[in-house]
Amino acid sequence: MPHLEIEGALRGDGLRVAIAVARFNSFITDRLLAGALDGLRRHGVADDGVTVVRVPGAWELPVTVKALAESGKYDAIIALGAVIRGDTPHFDYVAGEAAKGVGQVMVSTGVPVAFGVLTTNTLEQAIDRAGAKSGNKGFDAAATAIEMASVLGQLRGK
């Protein structure tokens, strides 16, 4: 007997996706949002299947993602933000809580949440990951959201 193998399809038609995006460092997060919207559209997600929620900063992402997940309206969620170390002692708290909180929401609700929050030492590193040298992590997060909606849908027999 061949083994059973399950993998996600990168087909977004019919999916409902929410994007929670932080306004802090909007120079970067606007580009992550553009990348995510491009990624969703190019994988077949309809424009009217997408909801964008803007919040002040990455700190506010977990509670927002939780509300979106618990609404039952979305097949997948994308969290976008940019936490840049610079000189701020805030960095470790904000970056740590965003990652931990968003991860907890995904596990506790079962709704896939793609983590498109950049945590970098410098603005240049963030720019590289928001549409320059290292691609666009918003686009990557969109593909991950679609893939995981497909994987979990299959595991749940849908």
Stretch that binds ligand INI, among 18-26, 37-45, 71-79, 141-149 (CB under 6 A): 18-26
Residues 12, 153: Cα–Cα separation, whole Å: 12
Stretch that binds ligand INI, among 11-19, 84-92, 135-143, 148-156 (CB under 6 A): 84-92
138: contact with ligand INI by CB under 6 A: no
Q: Measured from the CB atom, is 56 or 110 closer to ligand INI? A: 56
Nearest to ligand INI by Cβ — which residue?
Answer: 57
50 to 79, contacts with ligand INI by CB under 6 A?
56-60
Give the dihedral sign, CA 37/43/47/49.
Answer: negative
Give helix 26-42 / helix 137-155 axis angle, nearest 10°.
50
Residues 107, 129: Cα–Cα separation, whole Å: 26
Cα-based distances in Å from 116 to 68, 96, 103, 123: 16, 14, 12, 16
25: contact with ligand INI by CB under 6 A: yes
Residue from 19, 76, 78, 84 in contact with ligand INI (CB under 6 A): 84
The residues with which 132 forms a beta bridge, in sequence order, are 135
83: which 2 tokens? 């936490």
Residue from 88, 108, 122, 134 in contact with ligand INI (CB under 6 A): 88
The residue ranges that bind ligand INI (CB under 6 A) are 22, 24-25, 56-60, 81-84, 88, 90-91, 94
